[in-house]
A and B are shown apart, each in its own frame.
Chain A
Amino acid sequence: MTSVLSVSGLRKSYAGREVVSGVSFTLAPGQCYGLLGPNGAGKTTTLRCCLGLSAPDSGVIELLGEPVPARAREARMKVGVVPQFDNLDPDFSVAENLRVFGRYFGISDAETRRRIPDLLDFAGLAGKEDARLATLSGGMKRRLTLARALVNDPDLLLLDEPTTGLDPQARHLIWERLKRLLQQGKTILLTTHFMDEAERLCHRLAILDAGRIVADGPPRELIAANIEPQVVEIYGEDAANWAREVGQPLARRIEVSGETAFCYVAAEQVIPLLDHLGGYPALRTLHRPANLEDVFLKLTGRELRD
């Protein structure tokens, strides 16, 4: 098996509106691949098609060597899924959630019982076997969902916005666990709209917008290829005026959003620009290297997606 998951030419419409318009990507074993995109870009639909829960209008999907959707059920034997919204069983204890889920894979209760201590240990929930779901925090529920996705010892994990709604401590813990899973040789497909998450975890990522992949590659390369290397952010009531009247020649590109002007500049333009701005004491400035978020906003635009 050369790829864990390969998707080619995937298209899917709902009610006459195409939400996925020819998406192709391949996951190599041991890789963490990120699908980034604003709301409605087609990330979740792509995942549903990969799992065989939604039949594509066209395109070819192969998941762990099985054609999808034809043999999706067989393929799912070795896949773990962390969905976007928690769907743990609120009527069950922590251990019962894992035991009942194991049965869906045909795993005996005895076998799941044997695995539970390790799974809970991994999820930072050791000793919580008998805890009721209502007593768990949001972060703990998320970690239990991750443990549940591992109950069948999957080769591939599909994570749909795994840290949305979590506090920074809880997010960092999830990231640390996901890195550990990668070290163990698991393959991960992740959707997110957190750029720091994608930059930290993904070996390779694709930016999805309006159902198309608009860029893909390793995070550093995406930044190098798609955006000027340095950014100077300028804040203040006059920032927009400054950008319109005098700023343009000092930067390669300026984007204005409200009272902030984002100046995208080459390395050698930074010092002259900052010197120039010294003459405008009402404007505050922040200089930083360009990041994935800049690429994302450049490629997908700044307007809201709801």
Chain B
Amino acid sequence: MHGLYALPSFSWRAIAVWRRNFLVWRKLAIPSVLGNLADPMIYLFGLGYGLGSLLPASLAALGGVSYIVFLASGTVCASTMNAASFEALYSGFSRMHVQKTWEAILNAPVALDDVLAGEWLWAASKATLSGLAIMLVIAALGFVSSPLALWAIPLVFLTGLSFAALGLIVTALAPSYDFFMYYFTLFLTPMVLLCGVFFPVEQLPSALQSVASQLPLAHAVRLVRPLLLGEWPADAGFHLAALLITALAAYWLALMLTRRRLLK
């Protein structure tokens, strides 16, 4: 058995956990994808056309594109974050605590490290599907034109890994579903509003700007938006490293907390 603080171990058994979740998802795939698409699309069209019509057709502060095109790339990131968070929080908690699915799996020759790795990869995969669905819609609407946009797909997966890992930390600490409201109110909602999804971070007062631009969603937006607009992102290495470190460090912390909770 692992010590509480041991580095994460990975084995092929994590795939069996991933496949278990995939099989559940497949049964509800169509309503799940449509449900994940509806909310961001309402934001995109409502704000994109409604608010966007008050703005000039091309604004320098938005990188010279219309507001709806600017918003579309932000929506991809925000909805990837949401999908990863919901899966790691509500679905993860349900499998860990309510349905005792993990308990059943741990009686088989599967270690807790494998269970958590499977959950992590699954939540990121599901988030990628969610981000991809939106990318397809906005591509169909003509908001994406460059093949550089394909590079956004692995970045969306990395964004999913970061938020899935952060979500798993909260799940490991949660006494009940109600606990997640704090995480949404104190962390996720501020990020959606401050990290450049709806307006450029540069519009914020400088003190707020310096905080906002360090948050994980800001790094994701800095990488994904230029790619969807057909440019290489500035400081790509820095933002990539920030997301990667968030993903790995948060996953390790989530694993330590989950070991402490379940392997008493």
Contact with A along B114-143 (1 / 0, CB 8 A): 000000000000000000000000000000
Bound Cα distance A3, B189 (Å): 57
| Residue B51 lies at the interface, judged by CB distance under 8 Å to chain A | no
Residues of A with C-beta under 8 A to B106: 53
State the total of A-B contacts with C-beta under 8 angstroms.
68
B interface size (C-beta, 8 A)? 24
Which secondary structure dominates chain A's binding surface? loop
Task: Determine which of A74, A88, A92, A104 lies in contact with B16 in the assembled complex, contact meaning CB atoms within 8 Å.
Answer: A104
Contact with A along B220-264 (1 / 0, CB 8 A): 000000000000000000000000000000000000000000111
Bound Cα distance A74, B109 (Å): 6
| Residue B101 lies at the interface, judged by CB distance under 8 Å to chain A | yes
Interface-centre pick from A69, A81, A100 (highest chain B CB count, 10 A): A100
- The answer to whether A73 touches B109, judged by C-beta atoms less than 8 angstroms apart, is yes
Indicate whether A92 sits within 8 Å of B24 (C-beta atoms), given known contacts A101-B104, A105-B109.
yes
Interface-centre pick from B19, B107, B109, B262 (highest chain A CB count, 10 A): B107
Bound Cα distance A154, B264 (Å): 26
- The answer to whether A87 touches B104, judged by C-beta atoms less than 8 angstroms apart, is yes
| Residue B23 lies at the interface, judged by CB distance under 8 Å to chain A | yes
Task: Determine which of A55, A76, A89 lies in contact with B263 in the assembled complex, contact meaning CB atoms within 8 Å.
Answer: A55
Bound Cα distance A12, B3 (Å): 16
Within 8 A of A (CB), among B1-60: 1, 13, 16-17, 19-20, 23-24, 27
Quote the shortest CB–CB distance from A283 to chain B (angstroms).
Answer: 49
Quote the shortest CB–CB distance from B42 to chain A (angstroms).
Answer: 28
Quote the shortest CB–CB distance from A103 to chain B (angstroms).
Answer: 4
Chain B residue nearest in CB terms to A76: B109
| Residue A221 lies at the interface, judged by CB distance under 8 Å to chain B | no
| Residue A162 lies at the interface, judged by CB distance under 8 Å to chain B | no
Q: Which residues of A contact B (CB under 8 A)?
A: 14, 51-55, 69-70, 72-74, 76-77, 79, 81, 83, 85, 87-92, 96, 100-101, 103-106, 152
